[in-house]
């Protein structure tokens, strides 16, 4: 759960990683040099051993059953945060992506693969540690797969290879999604990314529920 430190301006969020341990994420609302959002991302980077620069967002799932009902915290006021998120203990969920940042001038000029990680803190009562649901899949969002994500994120040699290969395709004006998938498959990355994807969640997002043959 989130809690005060004896009425001080610090708040602790309890976050569990399945198969590992429960961690404290501490927010200091008097730290004018570090925005609360940045404080949380830095601590998540340290806990998960993933580069801070790849963490795009931290979302919260409180009591909604729909995946599309995630909540972005209001970091502007401590009282707003406490009123919304106090009283919950959370379980960490993560999404790791590799693609290209076509919207970034840096990405277009330097042909940089776009790595990003989205962390989600799911209220513990929404998590069944023995069964995959639309809210959380314990067989995917656990310490073993988190370590695989961190290993990919820290693999600078792989990133350098992708840069070199994608530069060649772009020079020949033959670059697209099929090239991205092909190179990720050749470097044994695509199967890892698929392993980190919950099919039940994807079906829910695409079809509004589990996709059945009777749906047509």
The domains of the chain are located at 2-210
Which residue, 120, 89, 70, is CA-closest to 16?
89
Question: Taking the mean position of all CA atoms in its chain, how far away is CA 93?
Answer: 7
Output 180 or 100, whichever has higher pLDDT. Answer: 180
Listed in order, strand segments (DSSP E) in the chain are: 2-4, 10-16, 22-28, 55-61, 90-100, 113-123
Dihedrals phi, psi of 160, to nearest 5 degrees: -65, -40
Q: Are 153 and 50 in contact (CB under 8 A)?
A: yes
Neighbours of 77 (CB within 10 A): 11
Please tell me what DSSP assigns to residue 142: S
pLDDT tens, position by position, 5-16? 455 678 899 999
Burial class of residue 181, CB neighbours in 10 A (0-12, 13-18, 19+): middle
pLDDT score of 156 more than 60: yes
Q: Are 37 and 50 in contact (CB under 8 A)?
A: no
pLDDT for position 69 = 55
pLDDT for position 5 = 47
Q: What is the pTM of this model?
A: 0.78
Return the percentage of the chain with pLDDT > 70, whole number: 70
Output 87 or 90, whichever has higher pLDDT. Answer: 90
pLDDT for position 99 = 66
pLDDT for position 209 = 46
Neighbours of 57 (CB within 10 A): 14
pLDDT for position 168 = 65
């Amino acid at each position: 759960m989130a809690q005060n430190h004896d009425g001080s301006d610090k708040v602790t969020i309890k976050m569990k990683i399945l198969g590992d341990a429960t961690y404290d994420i501490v927010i200091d609302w008097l730290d004018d040099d570090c925005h609360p959002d940045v404080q949380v991302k830095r601590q998540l980077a340290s806990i998960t051993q993933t580069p801070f620069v790849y963490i795009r967002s931290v979302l919260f799932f409180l009591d909604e059953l729909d995946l599309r009902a995630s909540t972005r915290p209001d970091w502007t006021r401590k009282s707003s945060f406490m009123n919304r998120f106090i009283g919950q203990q959370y379980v960490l969920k993560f999404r790791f992506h590799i693609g290209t940042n076509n919207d970034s001038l840096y990405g277009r000029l330097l042909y940089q693969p776009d790595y990003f990680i989205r962390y989600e803190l799911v209220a513990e009562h929404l998590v069944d540690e023995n069964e995959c649901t639309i809210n959380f899949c314990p067989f995917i969002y656990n310490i073993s797969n988190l370590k695989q994500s961190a290993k990919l994120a820290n693999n600078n040699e792989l990133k350098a290879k992708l840069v070199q290969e994608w530069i060649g395709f772009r020079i020949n004006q033959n670059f697209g999604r099929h090239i991205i998938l092909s190179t990720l498959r050749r470097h044994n990355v695509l199967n890892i990314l698929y392993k980190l994807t919950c099919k039940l969640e994807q079906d829910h997002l695409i079809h509004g529920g589990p996709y059945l043959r009777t749906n047509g």
